[in-house]
A and B are shown apart, each in its own frame.
Chain A
Amino acid sequence: MSDPLIELKHVERVYPLAKQQFFYVLRDINLKVEEGDFVSVMGPSGAGKSTLLHLLGMHDFGWTGEYFLSDAAIHQLKPKERTSLRNEQIGFVFQNYNLLDDLTVYENLDIPLSYRRYSKSERTSLVADTLDRFSIVGKKDLYPRQLSGGQQQLVSIARAIIAKPKLILADEPTGNLHSSQADDIMQLFKKLNGEGITIIQVTHSEINAAHGNRVIQLRDGWIVK
């Protein structure tokens, strides 16, 4: 059996409070995610779901334990190396889309590529392919405010996969959408997963979780299932 894409060993995230007092957000997390998994992280508010997601996405460095991603020991990497690995392997999808309001759809898709030093011609070609693939060519010159919520999330997902990541981290990707739009997005995730992209999503929805092949339940910072 091949190595997992992600492996967490005894990972903890602690916030210091008053004298000698600490608040544990994540406690002794041990987790393996195989390449091609579609994992849903569930749990009540304050369980540590988003913290886990941002830890995996290397936005948070204040944790302890061991974190391996594609054989790289993240806990041993310098911040610059982590950023480089993140840019190479991870795409993000947010609940509130987080598109840049002052950029067009085209420019929003172009942004991750420009940060990854793609050449101009590569960027043009990749953005054109992506627009085509998501059937949003006609919207490329529109600004996010001119799109519906579902369309915005579609662009957000397109932006997450444009740099060909191995892993998509999605924080409640359908939280702001109505049910039919949510279903479309989940279908899209399933399709991307089918193409080999590993997906980890945080969700409160059992229906959404059912689109994945695995559910992780968090409670008070512990993995309970």
Chain B
Amino acid sequence: MIADLRYALRMLIKAPAFTFVAILTLALGIGANSAIFSVIDPMLLRSLPFPDANRIVMIWAQTGGGLFGDRDVFSYPDYVDLRDQNRSFAKMAAFTRAATVLNKAEESQALEGVAIGPQIFDVLGVKPLLGRGYTSEEDQEGAAPVVVLTYPFWQRAFGGDPNIVGQQISLAARNYTVLGVMPVGWKFPVEDEHIDYAIPLHSLMGASAQNRNATFLSLVGRLQPGVSTRQAKAELDAISGRLARQYPDSNTGRETVSVATLHDDVVGNVRPALLVLSGAVVLVLLIACANVANLLLARAAARSREIAIRTALGASRAVIVRQLLAESLLLALVGGAAGLLLAWWGVDVLGTLALQALPHLGTIRVNPSVCVFTFALATASTLLFGLLPALQVSRPNVIETLQQGAKGSTGGLQSQRLRALLVISQVALSLLLLSGAGLLIKSFFNLRATNPGFVPDRLMTAQITLPRALYGQDDGKQIRTFQAIEAKLAAIPGLQFVGGVDPLPLGGNTRFSSFTIGGAAPLPRGQHPSGTRLVVTPNYFYTMKIPLLRGRVFTPNDNANSKLVVMINEAFARHFFPQRDPVGRQLLLDRPDGQARAVEIIGVVGNSRHEALNTEPGPEFYSPLALYAGRSLDLVLRLATPHLGGLDAAVRNAVHEVDKDLFVPQLAPMSNFLATQLAQPRFNMLLLAIFAGLAVLLATIGIYGVIAYSVVQRTREIGIRMALGAQRRDMLAMVLRQSLSVVLIGVALGLLAAFAGTRLLASLLYGVGANDLLTYAIVVFLLGAAALLASYIPARRATKVDPMVALRYE
């Protein structure tokens, strides 16, 4: 084998052009696979960094609508019942995301964290690196504030101070005792880019702890050994059913839950896209292999003499095949190494693209697993591209070849058919990829062109949170503070409008409230319709440029001392008041205490997209800030000019004029939130488009190679035809006919494959069907043009054949 490899190396060095093209082709095919594997590996293949990670599951209420579509969150009392009545779980913890501000002498920092029960340390099976986690006693209403830090935050904010445990830190103007520091790599929720701290759940709960209507908790649990997710679901369904019967007002419609492993839960959304991309790179590799196989077949003609001599000297077919496969292996290994280099470069780009598009489960990089994968793939691809040509040429006609001397004759009919077959498969696979890419491109541009319902240009946002330590539950104080901030900001020169909203559209949060229509037949509480509820300041609609369709917008006079009012969006009006004017009608908003509050609809505004850009707006209603303040408000600022220097400082000063202790984060353009919405579709589209482009390039090279080779082989025939009176255009047509017949078969097969295969993309598409005829027409045109160009160059060469030279040569 060593001798085979040594000889193979010599043969490859001797044919540098062939070797270069083959290695480059394989490098592109293998490199694309390695790059995608570096994404797939941390996302889909690696288990989460917790002991027995497959026993850690997420639990969601199945309500058929709500915050996460079919996945809804729980109330604290429901959590307690589920936790205490089940036998399937070793531990179960409830959590909600939290955010705060670290107050430091030099500068305050915004922090991301999680409020979570003390069971989380057992659920995940990870103990703190320093100190300890908190206990149930420390997770009680009124307990002293405690916090556990994550490793990166400990390093970043405290320089890895080994004596941090026991120290007090100030979060949102409240002192917390640091109980511990978690080890490197620990963060929860696992998909977040970074989590800085964990605090006991009760520190955020307040009155919600007793309220079954206040659903805001996600549940995570560790299954008992040997219990499956199906068994756990069955048991939790039974408990949920009992709760629904026991508490029909709050729990009707919440009779079942979903239970999925934490890993599936986190990657579920991106899995289809990643699988599609994996399939795409495999197709690219197949096309690359077909190209190299074609090159090897062409080269075999030149080596027929050598193979005939070896056979005459006693080499068996297996020995010849082994020799040829040694060359293929060498090509594949060098191609694989070059592919790894390409992947090395490519993962940086992938990492940047994936930053907003994928969960943050691990670093996307070329690690030892990627190297092993690349090596294995290169070895496997040897068989893909090397075996067919080796089998084809290892049975030479010894007598004919040796009698003909150096002239080869392996370009026979069988070999030509095999080469045509390879080109057909390349064209078909390219068309499949190109169709997928075409659909994703159209889908992406549809999404990008989607009107969010507001005008994002020149719109800046910043979230202001009033610290509980300073503001407590004093609604009046909170409302006055926000109103004062809005007034101060409005005075900043260069700002056209300033408004406030909670929660911010496309900001990742949505709040639902249930209600009934005044005058409609009464319904049980659990069957009340619900809609998205936003709290806004009067200027919000002007600032966002959301059009008023009927009635009026809020004014400063719409406050607690006046008639209670709401505004609704167009979708709300169409759904609940078809063919009727909703202005002046009454809504009965459900309150946590089981009572309802009557409010009057005073206006209808245009739809705007709040949950996601690709989600049709549902019924929404707006309440004035003066009535329903929370502790957070997203400020929205409309700039009079595209850029306004010093705005950050001006906003900070304005807020600090109201309360110097408030943390003011950096302003973020509203367009950033739209960009986040486009990140995953852009990721999918760009990658598939790159792979499809690569596929078309390789297929074009393949077509060129086959037609050019065929022209060389037919030189004598062309010479005779021309000597017999054929015109140059006849020869051009003859060669193009040969090429296009092969291409057309490939296109037909590719279209069939595309009609079937692009259905897998359906879940990734927006505003375009999987069988969009226009896309297919464009794709066929593009591929046809590329194939025509690839054929035209050798076809022109055929027209330049000099009959005398061709015949004399022969």
Contact = CB atoms under 8 A, between A and B. Distances in A.
Interface of A: 50-51, 54, 57, 59-60, 83, 86-87, 92, 94, 96, 98-103, 111-112, 114-116, 159, 163, 171
8 contacts: A87-B314, A94-B402, A98-B305, A101-B306, A111-B310, A112-B314, A115-B316, A115-B319
Given A83-B316, A103-B7, A50 B306 contact: no
Given A114-B3, A115-B319, A59 B398 contact: yes
Nearest to B11: A102
B314 A98 contact: no
Given A102-B7, A103-B7, A83 B314 contact: yes
Given A50-B399, A115-B319, A92 B313 contact: yes
B809 to A, nearest CB: 20
Contacts of A60: 399
Contacts of A57: 312
Contacts of B313: 92, 111-112, 115, 159
A101 B310 CA distance: 12
Contact of B402 (A98, A114, A115): A98
Contact of B310 (A59, A83, A100): A100
Contacts of B69: none
Among B7, B319, B402, which residue has the most Cβ atoms of chain A within 10 A? B402
Contacts of B398: 54, 59
A102 B10 contact: yes
B226 interface: no
Contacts of A98: 305, 309, 312, 402
B557 interface: no
Interface string B79-119: 00000000000000000000000000000000000000000
A111 B319 CA distance: 11
B405 interface: yes
Nearest to B399: A54
B580 interface: no
B561 interface: no
Nearest to B14: A102
**Closest 3 A/B residue pairs (Cβ):** A115-B314, A87-B314, A98-B309
B469 interface: no
Interface in B382-426: 398-399, 402-403, 405-406
B548 to A, nearest CB: 84
B785 interface: no
A106 to B, nearest CB: 12
Interface string B297-331: 00000000110011011111001000000000000
Interface residues of B, number: 21
B314 A86 contact: yes
A159 B3 CA distance: 18
Given A98-B402, A102-B10, A115-B316, 9 more contacts: A50-B399, A50-B403, A54-B399, A59-B312, A59-B399, A86-B314, A99-B309, A102-B14, A115-B314
B306 A100 contact: yes
Interface string B672-696: 0000000000000000000000000
A115 B10 contact: no
A99 B313 CA distance: 10
Nearest to A94: B402
A159 B309 CA distance: 12
A80 B403 CA distance: 24
Contacts of A50: 399, 403
Given A50-B399, A59-B398, A116 B405 contact: no
A174 to B, nearest CB: 16
Nearest to A113: B314
Contacts of A92: 312-313
A140 to B, nearest CB: 16
A96 B405 contact: yes
Nearest to A59: B398
Nearest to A103: B7
Nearest to A160: B313
Nearest to B405: A96
Contacts of A116: 314
A185 B629 CA distance: 109
B139 to A, nearest CB: 75
Contacts of B310: 100, 111, 115
A201 to B, nearest CB: 15
A15 B314 CA distance: 26
Contacts of B402: 94, 98, 171
B718 to A, nearest CB: 28
Nearest to B13: A102
A87 B305 CA distance: 19
B338 to A, nearest CB: 24
B734 to A, nearest CB: 28
Nearest to B317: A83
B12 to A, nearest CB: 11
A35 to B, nearest CB: 22
Interface string B447-486: 0000000000000000000000000000000000000000
Contacts of A86: 314
A130 to B, nearest CB: 14
B1 to A, nearest CB: 11
Q: Which of B10, B306, B313 has the most CB of A within 10 A?
A: B313
B11 A100 contact: no
Contacts of A115: 310, 313-316, 319
A199 B312 CA distance: 17
Contacts of A54: 398-399
A177 to B, nearest CB: 15
Nearest to A83: B316
A55 to B, nearest CB: 9
A83 B672 CA distance: 74
A151 B421 CA distance: 45
A100 B309 CA distance: 8
Contacts of A163: 314
Nearest to A80: B316
Nearest to A159: B313
A225 to B, nearest CB: 24
A200 to B, nearest CB: 15
Nearest to B398: A59
Contacts of A114: 3
Contacts of B319: 115
Contacts of B11: 102
Contacts of A102: 7, 10-11, 14, 306
Nearest to B3: A114
A93 B11 CA distance: 25
A29 B532 CA distance: 100
Interface string B250-268: 0000000000000000000
Contacts of B316: 83, 115
A86 B312 CA distance: 9
A129 to B, nearest CB: 19
A103 B313 CA distance: 14
Contacts of A51: 399
A51 B305 CA distance: 18
Nearest to A111: B313
A20 B314 CA distance: 36
A98 B7 CA distance: 17
A35 B235 CA distance: 92
A54 B313 CA distance: 13
A199 to B, nearest CB: 17
A114 B314 CA distance: 9
A119 B406 CA distance: 32
Contacts of A87: 314
Nearest to B397: A59
B119 to A, nearest CB: 68
A149 to B, nearest CB: 14
Contacts of A112: 313-314
Contacts of B309: 98-100
Contacts of B403: 50
A87 B311 CA distance: 10
Contacts of A100: 306, 309-310
A103 B316 CA distance: 19
Residue of B11, B310, B399 contacting most chain A CB atoms (<10 Å): B399
